[in-house]
């Protein structure tokens, strides 16, 4: 389960410590020589708890003597409390991060390059974009367990009723707008949009634009990125195929509009597939985020396991990560939790139970993907974009003005 899914959970479980241990093990196994390893992660709900239990239970099939305890606050609190938790002497050895937050947590995460080499870990089997997302200052800081390219969900029944050809692994912006226009009436919009930067960033990535410059610094005002954001605003302000959201709208507002049939299309993460398929009474379709050329360029979001810079058991911690991110574990979590695995060989497990072509779309996006790499100031960017994007959707301010305002407020 990744960022967008986790942020929709309501229950909060703070300060949770769940001990998860194997039933047995030999004394000669290094994973138990110093006692259980501790993992600090987000635990917002019973669902989160079950996810981490599943990771560890499946990893114990790789290493029956593996012992890991889990603790952590809600997802919303994690990104502030993690820094406090790792400032003490009793900090855990393991922690989770997202590609989008790896830069922010870089000082907490041990470089893994030497451990990768020493343990002969084959990085070529792991999604390249997510490895890029987990790299800080030129060194790898976490091993990803998922690689989630943002997709466009659509109501296949609505497309069929309108006589439209359902999109698959290619979809041009021109055709997308034409389809959305055909589906839009006086009292019905084709698309739901949300405030914030996450989805516009995926839209911009599909258009080969970035919010960073060549040095990895925040560059919201470059012409290509501004043009992409303006074209996204124009879906509401000019094309009229969506209603402008309110700044206070959470992602569940647009999600419910889609599953209830109020709108026919929604850009979201593939981790929502199971939720949408269960909630909707129509045939669920999946395609790429539309691009100017129609060719896929995916923005991947995802998470991974890292080792604390203060950990005094790095070899044991890395062996635990190897087990936690193995093909078998990823196959199990892909099938049971809907996680798009970071290992391509585990992707068929995610495809099970999905509609025809869903896995092809994900594969196409991952074949040309860019991770959502951000900066240490990204939380401020997201907050300000949530506030100002509403004005862009309404046509009250241009993307150029809004990006300049955010850039000036946040800086590099």
More confident residue, 83 or 4: 83
* SS3 of residue 124 by DSSP: helix
> Which pLDDT score, from 0 to 100, does residue 83 have?
94
> Which pLDDT score, from 0 to 100, does residue 28 have?
35
In CATH, which superfamily holds the domain spanning 149-299+359-410? Periplasmic binding protein-like II (3.40.190.10)
Determine the Cα–Cα distance for residues 250 and 198; give it in Å rounded to an integer: 12
Contact 321, 307 (CB under 8 A): yes
**For residue range 384-405, what is the model confidence (pLDDT) as tens digits?**
999 999 999 999 999 999 999 9
> Which pLDDT score, from 0 to 100, does residue 88 have?
84
Q: What pLDDT band is residue 233 in, cutting at 50, 70 and 90?
A: very high
In the DSSP assignment, the letter for residue 290 is P
> Which pLDDT score, from 0 to 100, does residue 368 have?
97
Determine the Cα–Cα distance for residues 268 and 273; give it in Å rounded to an integer: 9
Determine the Cα–Cα distance for residues 372 and 147; give it in Å rounded to an integer: 11
Instruction: Tell me the average pLDDT across 77-90.
Output: 93
> Which pLDDT score, from 0 to 100, does residue 172 have?
98
pLDDT surpasses 70 at 245 = yes
More confident residue, 296 or 89: 296
> Which pLDDT score, from 0 to 100, does residue 412 have?
60
Domains 3-147+302-342 and 149-299+359-410 alike in fold? yes
Determine the Cα–Cα distance for residues 54 and 68; give it in Å rounded to an integer: 12
Q: What is the CATH number of domain 3-147+302-342?
A: 3.40.190.10
Which residues touch 394 (CB under 8 Å, ≥6 apart)?
236, 237, 244
Which residues touch 195 (CB under 8 Å, ≥6 apart)?
245, 246, 247, 249, 385, 386, 387, 389, 390
More confident residue, 345 or 21: 345
> Which pLDDT score, from 0 to 100, does residue 34 have?
75
Instruction: Tell me the average pLDDT across 356-363.
Output: 94
**For residue range 259-293, what is the model confidence (pLDDT) as tens digits?**
999 999 999 999 999 999 999 999 999 999 999 99
Provide the β-strand partners of residue 343.
Answer: 126
**For residue range 195-228, what is the model confidence (pLDDT) as tens digits?**
999 999 999 999 999 999 999 999 999 999 999 9
> Which pLDDT score, from 0 to 100, does residue 19 have?
39
> Which pLDDT score, from 0 to 100, does residue 12 have?
34
pLDDT surpasses 50 at 161 = yes
Contact 98, 382 (CB under 8 A): no
Average pLDDT, the chain: 91
Domain ranges of the chain: 3-147+302-342, 149-299+359-410
Pairing label, strands 284-288, 369-371:
unpaired
In the DSSP assignment, the letter for residue 17 is E
Percent of the chain topping pLDDT 90: 87
Locate the DSSP E strands across 100-219: 135-136, 139-140, 142-144, 148-149, 151-155, 191-192
First-to-last CA distance in the chain?
30
pLDDT surpasses 80 at 82 = yes
> Which pLDDT score, from 0 to 100, does residue 356 have?
86
Instruction: Tell me the average pLDDT across 155-167.
Output: 98
> Which pLDDT score, from 0 to 100, does residue 33 have?
53
Instruction: Tell me the average pLDDT across 113-133.
Output: 97
> Which pLDDT score, from 0 to 100, does residue 121 have?
97
10 Å Cβ neighbour count for 352? 10
Q: What pLDDT band is residue 89 in, cutting at 50, 70 and 90?
A: confident
């Amino acid at each position: 389960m990744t960022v967008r899914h986790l942020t929709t959970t309501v229950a909060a479980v703070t300060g949770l410590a769940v001990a998860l241990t194997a039933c047995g093990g030999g004394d000669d196994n290094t994973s138990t020589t110093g006692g259980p390893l501790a993992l600090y992660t987000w635990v917002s709900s019973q669902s989160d708890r079950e996810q981490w239990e599943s990771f560890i239970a499946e990893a114990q099939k790789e290493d029956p003597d593996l012992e890991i305890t889990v603790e952590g606050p809600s997802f919303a609190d994690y990104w502030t409390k993690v820094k406090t938790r790792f400032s003490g002497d009793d900090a855990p050895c393991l922690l989770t991060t997202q590609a989008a937050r790896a830069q922010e947590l870089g000082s907490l995460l041990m470089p893994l390059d030497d451990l990768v080499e020493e343990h002969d870990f084959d990085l070529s089997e792991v999604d390249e974009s997510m490895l890029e997302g987990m790299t800080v200052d030129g060194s790898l800081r976490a091993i990803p367990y998922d690689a989630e390219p943002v997709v466009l969900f659509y109501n296949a029944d609505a497309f069929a009723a309108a006589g439209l050809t359902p999109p698959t692994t290619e979809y041009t912006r021109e055709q997308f707008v034409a389809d959305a226009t055909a589906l839009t009436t006086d009292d019905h919009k084709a698309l739901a949009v949300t405030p914030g930067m996450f989805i516009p960033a995926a839209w911009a990535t599909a258009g080969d634009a970035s919010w960073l410059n060549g040095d990895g610094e925040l560059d919201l005002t470059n012409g290509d990125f501004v043009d992409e954001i303006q074209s996204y605003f124009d879906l509401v302000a000019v094309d009229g195929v969506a209603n402008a959201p309110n700044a206070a709208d959470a992602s569940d507002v647009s999600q419910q509009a889609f599953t209830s049939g109020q709108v026919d299309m929604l850009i979201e993460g593939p981790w929502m597939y199971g939720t949408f398929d269960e909630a909707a009474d129509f045939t669920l379709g999946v395609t790429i985020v539309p691009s100017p050329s129609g060719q896929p360029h995916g923005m991947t979001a995802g998470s991974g396991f890292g080792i604390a810079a203060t950990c005094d058991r790095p070899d044991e911690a890395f062996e635990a990560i190897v087990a936690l991110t193995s093909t078998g574990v990823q196959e199990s979590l892909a099938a049971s939790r809907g996680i798009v695995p970071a290992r391509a060989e585990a992707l068929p497990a995610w495809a099970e139970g999905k509609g025809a072509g869903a896995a092809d779309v994900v594969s196409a996006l991952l074949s040309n993907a860019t991770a959502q790499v951000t900066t240490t100031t990204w939380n401020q960017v997201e907050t300000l974009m949530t506030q100002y994007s509403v004005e862009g959707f309404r046509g009250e301010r241009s993307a150029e003005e809004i990006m300049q305002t955010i850039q000036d407020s946040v800086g590099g």
